[in-house]
Amino acid sequence: MYRTHSCGELRLQHRGQQVTLAGWVQRIRNLGGMTFIDLRDRYGITQLTIDENTPDDVRKTAATLGRECVLQATGTVLERRSKNPKIPTGDVELALARITLLNAAETPPFTIEDDSDGGEELRARFRYLDLRRNPLQKAITLRHRMAQEVRSYLDSQQFLEIETPFIIKSTPEGARDFVVPSRMNPGEFYALPQSPQTFKQLLMVAGYDRYFQIVRCFRDEDLRADRQPEFTQIDCEMAFVEREDILQTFEGLAKHLFKSVLGVAWTDNFPRMSYADAMACYGSDKPDIRFDMRLNELTATVKGKNFTPFDTAEYTGGICVQGCADFTRKQLDELAEWVKRPQIGAKGLVYIRWTNDGIKSSIDKYYTSDELSAIAAQCRAAPGDLILLLSGDKKKTRERLGALRIEMGNRLGMRPNNVFAPLWVYDFPLLEWDDATQRFYAMHHPFTAPKPEDLPKFYSANRDDIAQVNANAYDFVLNGVEIGGGSIRIHDASVQQRMFEVLGFSESEANYKFGFIINAFRYGAPPHGGVAFGFDRWCALFGGQETIRDYIAFPKNNTGRDVMLDAPSKIDDAQMTELCLKSEIK
């Protein structure tokens, strides 16, 4: 036996036992006549002790050891003289009788400790060493737990886990596809799936009723912060369901994960909010409802006082930041700069401070104190509060106020990562008009069903009518992060064809790209719908982290590269020829 116990296992109850451990050398401390070696494996750290009673050969081997050597160590479990209450094995130590150096190690390029001294790039290059660190082991273990619990819950609800192919047909709509050249079909390409969307719908047509898969998806997007070109979804689909069935089933999944992974029992129903309300009240389709600070529309209230920005604006709105009336001029100027950053894009920021000396604002010249009080009342402000106002185009200004709200929430510590606020957002618009390409795009994807009451508008010849159609779609939001999204699908071939028409596809184009699904709908497609959750992000949120990278064993960096493998990379000329590829870049 290589080992009798793990490095995280020994306690006082093992006192006097002869045991064998195996692991990596975390640290060696020489204190006069004594040497202490911290031996680490994925379960913990145990202290090995060498003193005047230790056999000579053991001492000799120990003297040659360095960090990250792989050791097998046998000895007797003793009670420690000076205990370490910080670790579970801190009451005991192992008096070494025998050690075997299983493998030597070069000095690692960074310290394998909770707070490593290695920079991100270096740690990414040596990912297998970074993965030895405790925070990463915890993250990967949490991910495993989540996956197991997802499977156990969905299995208990009669879902079948079914794999779908990874090399499929390229049908870019939304993100760009990663493509794979086909050697056997010269000049032709497969694509990697952006999601198994069409396959899971075909499984419903095939009668499989409840499907799920914890599945890799691939999207060749320009990488925004914390996106990965390949990521994992919990992908699900159900037949013979309405929206309510889906929300309840997956609220059940979320509650099961809260309970089994975090030990949080959730009895209340998750709140729900329409897309229209989310935009009006939070300036976001994924509101963080851990804190209130809602948007208040002031458009009519503030007009007609000769303050041009408000007089000419389609929308003016304000948020009330409680207890912040004492913000200094400097802090307010800095906030004004913040909203003008290109990512936010506001022209300026108006503030109203309700201090002990009354109401003061940056627009005192235009508004009497009664008028300012009316604005404050509309924003549900109280003495001591600060009100921040933005104005302009309705959609953009709401989004800017929403971003400012989040920023204030961050600054004021209102977004603690151990508090969870789940939310369903529903009734999204079906389509978005794009001026540049002069066409509609599906807000979710082209298989999402219009709300039945909006079908007449969907068939209207008028663009404005079509733009108003709502989708039977919903998102699952956790702490201001979109964790999941789905919809009731179109299951009628003619409605699906109309959808492609609205999206500007000619009939032959639609048939070339999506003929298989339109055909399938002709053979008895049941009403169906589903949802997919971003598994990496859900794990990160449950782990209390912002970044998903720690929850993926081998992630790409923020330019989409695997710096450990040094991929992507060139392939040799013979391979290029075989695949009928020619590169312009040498």
- Nearer to ligand ASP by C-beta: 61 or 487? 487
Which residues 259-288 are close enough to bind ligand ASP by CB under 6 A? Answer: none
72: CB partners within 8 A, 6+ apart: 2, 3, 20, 21, 22, 99, 100, 102
DSSP structure class, residue 4: S
Task: With contacts defined by CB under 6 A, name the span among 93-101, 117-125, 247-255, 480-488 that binds ligand ASP.
Answer: 480-488
Query: HSE on the CB side for 195, CA within 13 Å?
Result: 25
- Nearer to ligand ASP by C-beta: 321 or 483? 483
- Nearer to ligand ASP by C-beta: 422 or 485? 485
Which residue has 């969307």 as its token pair? Answer: 197
- Nearer to ligand ASP by C-beta: 136 or 471? 471
Q: Count interface residues toward ligand ASP (CB under 6 A).
A: 9
Least distance in angstroms from the C-beta of 506 to ligand ASP: 25
Identify the residue among 197, 296, 301, 361 touching ligand ASP (CB under 6 A).
Answer: 197
User: Quick check: 486 binds ligand ASP (CB under 6 A)?
Assistant: yes
- Nearer to ligand ASP by C-beta: 218 or 551? 218
- Nearer to ligand ASP by C-beta: 61 or 197? 197
Residue 207: count of CB within 10 angstroms of its CB: 9
The CA distance from 122 to 393, in Å, is 45
**DSSP secondary structure string, 101-160?**
EEE--PPPSS--SSS-S--HHHHHHTHHHHTTSHHHHHHHHHHHHHHHHHHHHHHHTT-E
Stretch (H or E) spanning 217: strand 210-218
The CA distance from 34 to 175, in Å, is 61
Site pattern 141..180 for ligand ASP (x: CB under 6 A): ----------------------------------------
User: Quick check: 450 binds ligand ASP (CB under 6 A)?
Assistant: no
The CA distance from 11 to 24, in Å, is 20
Least distance in angstroms from the C-beta of 514 to ligand ASP: 14
User: Quick check: 485 binds ligand ASP (CB under 6 A)?
Assistant: yes
**Cis preceding-peptide flag for 55 (omega within 30 of 0):** no
Closest-CA residue to 102 (of 42, 172, 29, 21):
21
User: Quick check: 397 binds ligand ASP (CB under 6 A)?
Assistant: no
Task: With contacts defined by CB under 6 A, name the span among 74-82, 238-246, 483-491, 513-521 that binds ligand ASP.
Answer: 483-491
Least distance in angstroms from the C-beta of 164 to ligand ASP: 11
69: CB partners within 8 A, 6+ apart: 24, 25, 101, 103, 104, 105
User: Quick check: 487 binds ligand ASP (CB under 6 A)?
Assistant: yes
Closest-CA residue to 292 (of 385, 418, 392):
385
Site pattern 505..534 for ligand ASP (x: CB under 6 A): -------------------------xxx--
Binding interface with ligand ASP (CB under 6 A): 195, 197, 445, 485-487, 530-532
